[in-house]
Structure 1
């Protein structure tokens, strides 16, 4: 392909402010802003403060960035701003270091390992369901987040100190996730201001990292595989050098896995019960599948492939409520969709905007699991709940298994019914959160 344009010819999004650029529009409108860009072109210029970034709005360009030319792109400025706090784990790192770390972490998420985690997932969900009483009003968003914290924590740490860290994560992880996105999108000086949000963020990161280090210290004193992720990471050795991970690398990877594992599954489960309750036909078909396959017994790893309608519901939830914005940076010159992009150029894309593009998803605001019936074909880059290419989320199969197992365990026992007159609104940080999600617990049958 021959370049037909330069970056100077890329259209600029409306709503740019002096000094702040499009930051205020991004923070105020979030989904609305990124979804409005596609009609302007396949590549649109947006300013984060004074920094120009170029939003890829077409699946073709996003697929090129993530897959076809993935080696020509590193993590972008958003990740630069996260890295001092989250460290250089596989979600933040670049190049050969990223490749090495990914090889070291990957065995912890092998399908056989996930199968071993599944009984714990089912027990944890059953304990939560067993703590509810008929007619009780449950804050479902909080309950699902706590469930995901416990599952990820018990997967990572099979120690008493691990249980302490789980409690710390329940308290501080929401602050880390929500305040972190504000920092990433704001001009650099904002992070240095003595404002309450910054103080809460700094304290949360400090407490989490300190607790993680305590667990690492404990783990180094315990030999062998305890069946958890940390013990595998402690024993992992690089094939080329024979070296294991330093404490800093371990801390970075554990914080990365905690952050990624909690937000995705907790939000997906919250929105799943919300959407199922709003669509009686979906609820009826889902419950019928659970009854036929499980017949009242606990769900196992072998059951997951035999729950195809559950899988459709999960896929649709992940389409409707994905991460909002991701960024990459060209590390060499590349031609992107006919535009010559120099090294150092910041490229961004919105999975949410792609997932709600009517060119690929008819009536995208409608919740419809049947859009995922067999035969559904999408262009590469149109559906990215876990990213793609060599940066695809390393825990994607773990997350899909946890969501299916937890939802099936709870859905086999209870219906969760919305409170009359309670409108659920979407709050957006890096992803879509319900503002509040109280639901009434009703026994099935």
Structure 2
């Protein structure tokens, strides 16, 4: 079966100019050409799967036939072989070592720290003050993930360095990932910023690990759990393996939550009925007291708002590589083939989500959510490589909105229009909002 090729291919550069120039618009339109569409990253052919059914096969039912793809190769110099990059038996071993840190009872213990961090931030606001909410949410996410990972005082330097370096690595890393190999050396400024950020994080996190090894004290944080964990043979992680997992958790945890929270407040402020329903539910469930872990499942409409935000603003693309010959949508692919999935395109496919660019939390009402097919909604991935911290992130978002919205409204600033940058996802480069007491 012949595979349709996406239009807009350049000699040598392939579809890279179109990908970097049009980004979401390019990948959103691929489903019109077929279930599997060939796109060239320079001279490297990639096969985009465009349906929920094929996505579910790649990520879940046939996941053993796929390893991590070219994009992850480009990020490996920074995050190493953490859960995001590793595969096979090693990935399974690492996941089993990391998973206990995100069990339900552990997340319940983190909830109090989350609420304290949010209350500290929102308590510093003043009525009528203008805030850059994207920057506030970035700082908040670094604080929450950093304190859960390192503890409050012990890892202060690492938390501050993560705030400085993680965004640099993720944004420049995506450009590296989508650029042909011969273009990489030409990205001089971005490469220098990327490399400096990598060196700084290695030095700071390495120091924190060495300090823990010297004392061996369990501080009740994620790092203590990682360093104390033992596999089925009684073997611990090496310092390098711990570093890889720490930077993976920082990279994934900070960006996902910070961006989702910024977009959450943006969308709530734009839709008066959504804002009213969120406030009414929070008032009813909390009755004026701080949010707890037991409250989070009761905030059902807020969970719908969170899911709709994650649908609207997911990561752009994921890449996999076939480990053996496979067939997808009638197309035979040999081992070593790059297969690409766009969560953003899937989340905006009108076949699954009617009027996909409209913000509609009621899509996630119980009577409607059952009609969404498997593979259509993958904000945290799926299968045995689903983000290990997804429950942590969902709790963090609920606690943040509940804590802030119980006291404040965030209103758009009319003379400061939203600016958006598109890299690995949609970044609100400037999200100015006015703090209004409720």
TM-score by length of 1: 0.96
1:20 shift after superposition: 1.2
Matches of 1:260 and 1:222, distance apart in 2: 28
The one of 399, 402, 405 equivalent to 1:405 is 399
Secondary structure of the structure 1 residue equivalent to 2:258: helix
- Contact 1:299-1:408 within 8 A present in 2 as well: yes
Secondary structure of the structure 1 residue equivalent to 2:206: helix
Other-structure match for 2:203: 210
CA offset digits 1:107-131 (Å, max 9, x no partner): 0000100000000000000000001
Q: Call closer, same or farther: CA 1:12–1:194 in 2, change over 3 Å.
A: closer
Taking the TM superposition and a 5 Å limit, the aligned residue runs for 1:40-79 are 40-79=33-72
Unaligned runs of 5+ in 2: none
The one of 412, 434, 439 equivalent to 2:433 is 439
Unaligned runs of 5+ in 1: none
Taking the TM superposition and a 5 Å limit, the aligned residue runs for 1:76-225 are 76-158=69-151, 160-193=153-186, 195-225=188-218
- 1:393 and 2:387 aligned: yes
CA offset digits 1:405-432 (Å, max 9, x no partner): 0111011110000011433243211111
Other-structure match for 1:238: 231
> How many aligned positions are there?
436
1:289 shift after superposition: 0.6
Secondary structure of the structure 1 residue equivalent to 2:319: strand
Matches of 1:153 and 1:191, distance apart in 2: 31
1:135 shift after superposition: 0.6
CA offset digits 1:343-391 (Å, max 9, x no partner): 1010001000000011111111110111111122211100001000011
1:194 shift after superposition: 6.3
Matches of 1:38 and 1:222, distance apart in 2: 55
1:221 shift after superposition: 1.9
Secondary structure of the structure 1 residue equivalent to 2:215: coil
Other-structure match for 2:378: 384
Other-structure match for 1:296: 288
Other-structure match for 2:221: 228
- Contact 1:299-1:409 within 8 A present in 2 as well: yes
Other-structure match for 1:282: 274
Other-structure match for 1:326: 318
Moved more, 371-380 or 152-161: 152-161
- Contact 1:161-1:214 within 8 A present in 2 as well: no
1:161 shift after superposition: 4.2
1:223 shift after superposition: 2.5
1:192 shift after superposition: 2.8
Matches of 1:234 and 1:85, distance apart in 2: 20
- 1:428 and 2:419 aligned: no
- Contact 1:332-1:342 within 8 A present in 2 as well: yes
1:219 shift after superposition: 1.2
1:337 shift after superposition: 1.5
